[in-house]
Amino acid sequence: MIAAALEESKSEWFEDARHMIRQLAFVQDLITADDLRKVMRPAPVSNWTGLAFTAAHKAGDIEWVRYVRSNNKTRRGGSVSEWRRKSEGIES
């Protein structure tokens, strides 16, 4: 029963994250996981944020630019990937 609830939570969270990544990429030139964390509820599992960006990349919505230093205190200045909208990707 717990696994079924987590699986439903996972699909909902990833759907919401993908939508927010698309929205952020449309309104900002460059985005990071820090940007997603600011506008979305926390991921139930810590690595889901990165997996959401990987899924958006594989779907052709965004492309990797470079690594930058995180502004999130919990990341303690660690590196995060910076992404931008692919020119032939997201349509308004």
Q: What is the three-state SS of 36-92?
A: HHHHCCCCCCCCHHHHHHHHHHHCCCEEEEEEEECCCHHHCCCEEEEEEECCCCCCC
| Residue 87: per-residue pLDDT | 78
Question: Does the pTM exceed 0.85?
Answer: no
| Residue 20: per-residue pLDDT | 96
Q: Tokens 């599992």 label which residue?
A: 45
Q: Can you give the residue ranges of every domain in the chain?
A: 2-85
What's the topology of domain 2-85? Arc Repressor Mutant, subunit A (1.10.10)
* Per-residue confidence in pLDDT tens, the chain, 92 aa: 456 555 658 889 999 999 999 999 999 999 999 999 999 998 888 889 999 999 999 999 999 999 999 887 777 778 999 999 987 655 54
Q: What distance in Å separates the CA atoms of residue 5 and residue 82, rounded to the nearest whole number?
A: 32
